Amino acid sequence: MTPLTSTQEMAPRADDQRKNGRAGTSEVPEQFDGKLDQIAQLLDGGRENDAAERARLAVSLTNTKDREILASSIADRLIELKDQLERNAVYHHDFFEVQPGEDLLTHIRTVVDERIGRQILNEANRGTFASSLAEAIAHDPEALTKIQQYYPDFTWDPKQGDEALVHALEQRFVKDFSDQAEALKKELELEAEVALEKSDVLERVKDKKGMFTWATEKVKAIWAKKSVRVATYVVVGVAATLLIAWGASYLLAYLQGLHAAALEGTAAAIEGATEAGGALAPVSGLEGAGSVITGGLPSAPPIPNIWIGEPVL
């Protein structure tokens, strides 16, 4: 098969950048809209002609979970290149200007995720994006095998030539991206709902400032005494919330296995110490974890269902 070249994406190539007198930034696209060419250029450090790498990236971009992990890698790469990229006004404004108190990496991850999401959410972008992925994948047997694993029902007529394969892939991705766009739309609606609720929470706390301050002082005091059994459950809840916050968007798959095993093992150890009448080990902070995590939903997957059970309190 002869590698096809994407004609849809307009990201400048490394040599164009050198022509523009931007030596030293040759591996960086002039802007980042979440397109395949730009991602390959950014992550590849100028090896964007590496078809296998490009195909691998294209496969990652076909599904939501891999896309999130990829977005995280891109964010890490942008941080690595921060000094260099900040000189570019577009990058500076879009990626490196953060609100006071806002975490830079989290901000960049969000922007990257959103940019890639736009290629799928926006109907006008979707076809072009699908086409670039299809072209990259069609010419790499390994990537094609992956796609066949992802979509066992995917078929095309090999007798019709390479173009038929590209077309079939493109059609499949467009259909899939339409479904993903629907899901993303729901997610965005949920985000809007939570943002609104969160601003209400600020008002509620202001309204009951006295009660709130009393409670926060008590909570801080119990955390100071890890020997208080009650505190350990709260610590577990909070720690797990931090893990979800960190892992839900970017490393959920990685954390899913780790989380349950870690908590169950620790809980068993702590339970033994408690039954023996010993003091709770202040070092772990995970006392009672097994009860909280697995007590309610023993057969549920670890992270998504840690506490959620009843729809209404």
Partner 1 sequence: MNSLYLTTAEQTLFLALPQKIQEGWKVEAENISYEESEAKQRVRCKFMKLSPKIQKSMSSVASAVSPEGMEKWVASLDLQSLTDDDIRELFYALGPVSIGRILERTIPLVQSDTDLEAVAAIAVLRHVIFTPLKK
Q: What is the nearest approach in angstroms of partner 1 to the Cβ of residue 60? A: 20
What number of other Cβ atoms are within 10 A of residue 97's Cβ? 12
Rounded CA-CA distance 157/159 in Å is: 5
As a whole number of Å, the CA-based R_g of the chain is 24
Q: Is 186 helix (H, G, I), strand (E, B) or coil?
A: helix
Q: Which residue, 224 or 276, has its beta carbon nearer to partner 1? A: 224
Which CB atom, from 157 or from 200, has the smaller least distance to partner 1? 200
Q: Which of 57, 259, 280, 302 binds partner 1 (CB under 8 A)?
A: 259
Stretch that binds partner 1, among 38-46, 61-69, 82-90, 242-250 (CB under 8 A): 242-250
Give kind and range of the element (H or E) at residue 89.
helix 89-91
CB 176 within 8 A of CB 62: yes
Number of amino acids touching partner 1 (CB under 8 A): 79
**CA-based nearest residue to 34, from 43, 26, 25:** 43
The one among 152, 203, 279, 299 contacting partner 1 by CB under 8 A: 203
**Residue 198 makes contact with partner 1 by CB under 8 A:** yes
* Contact with partner 1 (CB under 8 A) among 31, 244, 256, 294: 244
Which tokens in the block code for residue 43?
Answer: 């992550």
Work out whether 253 is an interface residue with partner 1 (CB under 8 A).
Answer: no
Q: Which is nearer to partner 1, 52 or 194 (CB)?
A: 194
Contact 56, 44 (CB under 8 A): no
Is residue 223 within the footprint of partner 1 (CB under 8 A)? Answer: yes
**185 contributes a contact to partner 1 by CB under 8 A:** no
Site for partner 1, residues 127 to 166, rule: CB under 8 A:
none
Helix axes 209-224, 162-207, angle to 10 degrees: 110
19-48 footprint of partner 1 as x/- string (CB under 8 A): ------------------------------
| Local structure of residue 97 (DSSP, 8 states) | -
